[in-house]
Structure formats: C-alpha cells, structure tokens
Structure 1
Amino acid sequence: MPHFIVEYTDNIKDEAKLEKLFEEIHKVLIARDTVFPIGGLRSRAIELKDYRVADGAEDDAFVHAVLKIGAGRSEEIKKEVCEALFEVMKEHFSLIMAKRYLALSMELIEFSKAGTYKQNNIHARFKKK
C-alpha cells in the first residue's frame, strides 16, 4: 500500500490524461518513502459508462479518487498527504474544469492491521542498503 484508485466518467476519457495524473501522484507518495513503501504503491483507473450526475440535464463529469493505506500513520501525516494529493488532482483537472462541469472528490480508506493479506517481492528492490 498505498493504492490510488480513480473512478471517472467516460465523457472525459480523452482529456483526462490519467497516466500523467498517476505520474504526479506517485511523485508525491515516493517523496514520502519513509511513510509509504515505494514497492507497495499502485494506481489504477475505472472508467464509468453507466452514471448520472446531478439532474442529468448537462453532460456533467466527475472524478472520484480513493487512497487506500494500511493502518499506522498519524492523523497529521494522513491529512498532509491527502491535501497534497488533492492539490495534484485539482491542478491536473483544472483545464477540464475550466471548460465544462466537473466534480472532483477524494477519500481516504485506512485498513486495519488485521484486515489485509498481501505478498510482495517488489519491496526488496527498494530496500536501503
């Protein structure tokens, strides 16, 4: 962990440039490698084809992100990281928002220590020697 998951409406697919968003999100998280292990970092997107926004009268769009992390980080760290990530999202989607109706949101989900099962040999590549 962490995992960054984005749901987005298909009416912004061509403009969303999600690979660039993920690159910027990863920079924020990698800069905090003492808090979040680089080998556990994942980003992915889910394109939504079936949705309705507001009253359905416009071609509204939305992007909702979820940051999933394991337990154990302080409230201060979680707040700081979430604010930094949401700033990246706002900057990334600012051009789309300037041209059309767009709702951005993000939430944090923190798993309990007993609530996850994982195996990962990628971490070994990033161990400091």
Structure 2
Amino acid sequence: MPHFTLEHTTNLPALDAQALLRAANQALFASGQFGAEIDIKSRAIPLEAFAVGTAGDGLRGFIHGKLAILSGRNAEIKRQLSEAVLAAIEAQYSVPDHMDVQISVEIVDLDRAAYAKAAHTRRSAT
C-alpha cells in the first residue's frame, strides 16, 4: 500500500510516464506515511480518447493522479500527500507554453478491514 494511478492524455509532448511514476513514488516514500518503499505501487494509463472542455484543437490535456490508501488518515495528512505528489509531478514535467494542461491529484480511501494483500519476495539461490 499505497496504489498510485497516473492517467495522462497522449497529446502531451515529451511526457515520460516512468519518470513521473518514480517522482511520485519518491514523494510518497519521503512522506513517512508508508512502511517500506517496496509497498508503494504505481502505474500509468495513457489516454488516447479524451476531451478537455469543448475545444477540439488538440492543445488541451491533463495529468491526473489517483492515490488509493488504507482508510484512517486525517484530512491534513491526505492534503499533504496530494500536494507532495502534485509538486513531484510538476517538478518532473514541463508544461509546453502552447498548451493548456491541468494537473490534479486525488486521494481515495480503501476500506482497511476489506483490503487483502499477499507479498511474495525473491528467494536467493543458494
């Protein structure tokens, strides 16, 4: 835990999704809210079909992050997490001057009592 999903429109030039995921993971680990860094999982979903407003000129796009965490954290911690991830994304991606781009992050609570996980670690060959 946590799970971070990054959605981004495919019209954003020079967007390196892997670099954005690494930056988000580093910000999440630095928050001190999560145990081991190996527990932070992230993925990127490129969006080829999308609309931003009503203009169809292809000069609008977005990056949206959804952070799913176990329930129980207060609103201030959630705000700190969303702002840290947003800052990490903005530091990693330079928005082109000729485009309108919105970047957002949301926090979603997962029911702690209903969440199940199995972690299988590598075994060293001896």
Asked if these proteins are the same fold (TM beyond 0.5), I'd say yes
Aligned to 2:118: 119
Aligned to 2:63: 63
Aligned to 2:19: 20
Map residues 29-68 of structure 1 onto 2, 5 A cutoff. Answer: 29-33=28-32, 35-37=33-35, 38-59=37-58, 60-68=60-68
Q: 1:46-74, CA deviations, whole angstroms, 9 ceiling, x for partnerless residues?
A: 11111122113321111111011011223
Runs of at least 4 residues off by over 6 Å: none
Judging by fraction of residues, say which structure has more helix: 1
Change (3 A) 1:82 1:19: same
Read off the aligned partner of 1:36 and give its amino acid letter: F
Aligned to 2:103: 104
For the pair 1:86 / 2:86, whether they are aligned, the reply is yes
Identity rate of aligned residues, in percent? 27
| TM-score, with length taken from structure 1 | 0.80
For residues 98 and 65 of structure 2, what CA distance do their matches in structure 1 show?
21
For residues 8 and 88 of structure 1, what CA distance do their matches in structure 2 show?
15
For residues 79 and 97 of structure 1, what CA distance do their matches in structure 2 show?
27
8 Å Cα contact 1:68/1:109 also seen in 2:
yes
Structure 2: where are the runs of 5+ without partners?
Answer: 122-126
Read off the aligned partner of 1:84 and give its amino acid letter: A
Aligned to 1:7: 7
Q: What SS does the corresponding residue of 1:46 show, helix, strand or coil?
A: strand
Shift of 1:41: 0.5
8 Å Cα contact 2:7/2:44 also seen in 1:
yes
| TM-score, with length taken from structure 2 | 0.82
Read off the aligned partner of 2:34 and give its amino acid letter: F
For residues 105 and 31 of structure 1, what CA distance do their matches in structure 2 show?
20
Structure 1: where are the runs of 5+ without partners?
Answer: 123-129
For residues 30 and 106 of structure 1, what CA distance do their matches in structure 2 show?
16
More displaced, 44-53 or 74-83?
74-83
8 Å Cα contact 1:15/1:96 also seen in 2:
no
